[in-house]
Amino acid sequence: MAEKQTSYAGNGSYPTSYYAASRNIIRNPVRLEGRIETDICIVGAGYSGLSTAIHLAEKGYKVTVVEGAQVGWGASGRNGGQIVNGLNAGLSTIERRYGEDAARFIGGLVQEGGRIIRRLVERHQIDCDLKPGNIYAAYTGAHMKELEAKQALWRKYGMDDHQLLDREALRRFVVSDAYCGGMLDTTGGHMHPLNLVLGEARAFESLGGVIYEMSPVTRVEHEAARPVVHTKGGEVSARIVVLCGNAYLGDAVPKLATRVMPVSTQMITTEQLGEERAHSLIPSDMCVEDVRYILDYFRLSADKRMIFGGGTVYGGTDPADVVAKLRPNLEKVFPRLKGVKIDYAWSGNFALSFTRVPQMGRIGSNTYFAHGYSGHGVTGSHLFGRILAEAINGDASRFDAFEKMPWYPFPGGRMLRAQYSTLGSWWYMFKDAVGW
């Protein structure tokens, strides 16, 4: 019998990326060895796990975090670094599926994740190059109609932070002939994602928390009255366990394996462009994403490189050549960057839910989980961490609202779900191509 996949893939060292090369905190990982006991054991030292951990530690709980690789090794340390409000499933989808009350509930909290990030950065003096502003860019008139509808719906549910931009107005923020217009979200923003999560780990430890790294989880006894987390080198007995492995939980908890699917997305980072050249491309220094189904997203780094991401591979496998896949997209948006030197290229997985709505719940009375942010995990994970902590601390009102939302497995099961999802994505890509 083949060995089961544990809670991360690889040897635990950070993948080669711009973020890993420019991280400003170097940790000395401590492995879990032997058996320990704690109030709360959290699996996963990414945004979800550390947001939960910090909020609980602030309430005085004894919290232990177990990480299979290193802090921020997964999506939290590889993503686009964009603070984008909302879920993958828009408010129109939420309203249609679950009704106006659900849309009002979600509309009232989608900006909270960004506020949590800013609070943590300010309170704990996290150095992560945090900057304001997010731009949605439209390729077609149909895309602009989508943005108009989005602005109207957000206003309906109390959010009036979005400004529609025609072609000329958009050029004040991003200079590209590829787009016909867009929308500004002043409450969005961007930062260095790995430095953020490393700063959060340091903040958690300053509150008395403990993190064990390089300790992949092999199984979780989640049905026990006092759950036990087993790793390759030890085990943690806890009053409550919180599972925040997301796309990298592997087969450690089979009960969750069918609820989400790993999806790979790719990123490249150029050489340093210099202040003048960088400013000529994105004079606002805001982050940008287009509104296609398979979208591109990009921003400038603090040292004036272009960080450009896009593409998806269902099932979480990596393309053979990331640069070959993304360079044409980069040069389409910015022809002036044709032939620019690419210094870094990497991939990473996020966890996709079938409904495109993140999931939160319990398996067993004392084991909680949160996952499935579906590409919107920077803000969603910080929010869900707070909501998990609220539930554990006695206020489960917001947790219960999410737990009650129905979820569905991917068609085709684990064997065929990637193929079915790829087929479905082709339809949306066709619609984008013809401007529907």
DSSP state string for 60-92: T--EEEE-SSSTT-SGGGTS--EE--S-SS-HH
Tokens read off for 300: 């400038």
The answer to whether 58 and 36 are in contact (CB under 8 A) is no
Residue 416 confidence (pLDDT): 46
- Give residue 423's pLDDT: 44
Residue 36, phi then psi, degrees to nearest 5 = -130, 165
CA dihedral 408, 414, 415, 419 (to 10 degrees): 60
Residue 315 confidence (pLDDT):
58
* Domain spans in the chain, listed from the N-terminal domain onward: 18-78+194-258+356-417
* Strand 181-190, strand 260-270: pairing: unpaired
| Residue 407 confidence (pLDDT) | 79
* CA distances in angstroms from 219 to 247, 318, 351, 371, listed in the order given: 16, 26, 19, 17
Strand ranges for 139-249 from DSSP E: 162-166, 181-190, 210-212, 217-221, 228-231, 234-243
Cα distance between the two ends of the chain: 49
Residue ranges, the chain, pLDDT below 70 = 1-10, 313-317, 410-436
- The residues facing 237 across adjacent strands are 37, 228
Q: Where are the alpha helices (DSSP H) in 183-297?
A: 193-206, 254-257, 275-281
Q: Which helix (H) or strand (E) holds 415?
A: helix 413-434
pLDDT of residue 21: 98
CATH code of 18-78+194-258+356-417, in short, is 3.50.50.60
Question: What single-letter DSSP state applies at residue 4?
Answer: P
In this prediction the pTM is 0.93
> 279 φ, ψ to 5°?
-65, -30
CA distance 61 to 79: 30
- Residues 339-378: pLDDT tens digits? 999 999 999 888 888 788 889 999 989 999 999 888 889 9
User: What distance lies between CA 16 and its chain's CA centroid?
Assistant: 19
**Distance (Å, rounded) from C-alpha 199 to C-alpha 432?**
39
